[in-house]
Structures are given as C-alpha cells and as structure tokens.
C-alpha cells in the first residue's frame, strides 16, 4: 500500500476515536439533576451540613460560596467545570440563594472553582464530604438513584 493510501486507514481510525471521545464526553457532561428549582433546597442542606462540621464556617463567605458553586455545577452542569457553557437559567437560580452577590461575581467565582478544587486539598476534601452528604439527601428524597 502506498503511503498516500495508508492515510485512509489512519483517517478511519481517527474518526472512530473521535466518535468514542464524543460519546464519552456526552456521558461525562450529562447532569445528575436538571430541575434548577432544587438549588435553594440544596443550599439549605449545604448550610445545615456546614453548621454540623467541627468549626462551622460562615456559609456566606466567598470560600463557602465557591464550594457550593462547585457542588451545584457538578450536579447540574458538569461541563462548566471543564470550561463549558453555563446553561440558561442556572445562574439566576444560584443568584437567588446569594441575594447580596451580583450575577457577575457568581460568573467570576465559577471561573476559578475548578482550579481551586484541583489545587487545594482542604477545599477538595470539604467539597467531597459535602457532596456525598447532599447526594445521600437527594437519594433519600428519591430525586436521584
């Protein structure tokens, strides 16, 4: 087979890989929840969980807001954490639980939560604990399997 014709085999392989990657991307970016009206209830759970921690930090602090944002984005729009587009309506619902914070600030916080999660062990551990507790509550209410 000539070099030029061997490119057909490579092209076919590339297309198959792209197809598998697209399928996997779709799986990973599928939200666990889609009803944005659950966000205020999840925020109430988040505050309850913070209050039960050893040294309950202020749920209104920037750090706690970022933890909540990470969890909510993972539940409702995981692709945002990898640089994807924020779905319509979610920022408004998140703004509702933080009435003293402008939507612009929320967008700016969203931009860096993934980085903070990757870089800071304590931040990551808190999120993982809080996330697991919230998922258990969602399961007990029959909202997820």
CA dist., res. 7 & res. 84, Å (int):
33
Q: What integer pLDDT is reported at residue 145 of this predicted model?
A: 84
Any residues with CB less than 8 A from the CB of 57 and at least 6 apart, and which? 50, 63, 64
State residue 46's pLDDT score: 95
Using a cut of 0.85, tell me whether the model's pTM lies above it.
yes
How far are the Cα atoms of 40, 45, 117, 124 from residue 138, in angstroms, in the given order? 13, 10, 23, 21
What tokens were used for 97?
Answer: 């639980």
What is the per-residue pLDDT for 111? Answer: 82
Per-residue pLDDT of the chain (145 residues; tens, 9 = 90+): 677 788 899 999 999 999 999 999 999 999 999 999 999 999 999 999 998 887 656 767 889 999 999 999 999 999 999 989 999 999 999 999 998 888 888 888 988 999 999 999 999 999 999 999 999 999 999 999 8
Predicted pLDDT at 57: 63
* pLDDT on residue 56: 59
């Amino acid at each position: 087979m000539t070099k030029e014709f061997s490119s057909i085999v490579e092209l076919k392989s590339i297309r198959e890989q792209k197809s598998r990657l697209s399928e996997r991307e779709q799986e990973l970016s599928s939200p666990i929840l889609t009803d944005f009206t659950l966000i205020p209830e999840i925020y109430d759970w988040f505050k309850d969980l913070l209050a039960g921690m050893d040294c309950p930090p202020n749920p209104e602090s920037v750090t706690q807001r970022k933890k909540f944002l990470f969890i909510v984005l993972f539940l409702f729009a995981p692709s945002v954490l990898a640089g994807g587009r924020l779905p319509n309506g979610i920022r408004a619902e998140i703004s509702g639980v933080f009435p003293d914070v402008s939507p612009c600030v929320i967008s700016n916080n969203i931009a860096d939560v993934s980085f903070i999660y990757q870089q800071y062990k304590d931040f990551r551990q808190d999120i993982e604990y809080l996330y697991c507790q919230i998922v258990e509550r969602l399961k007990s209410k029959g909202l997820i399997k």
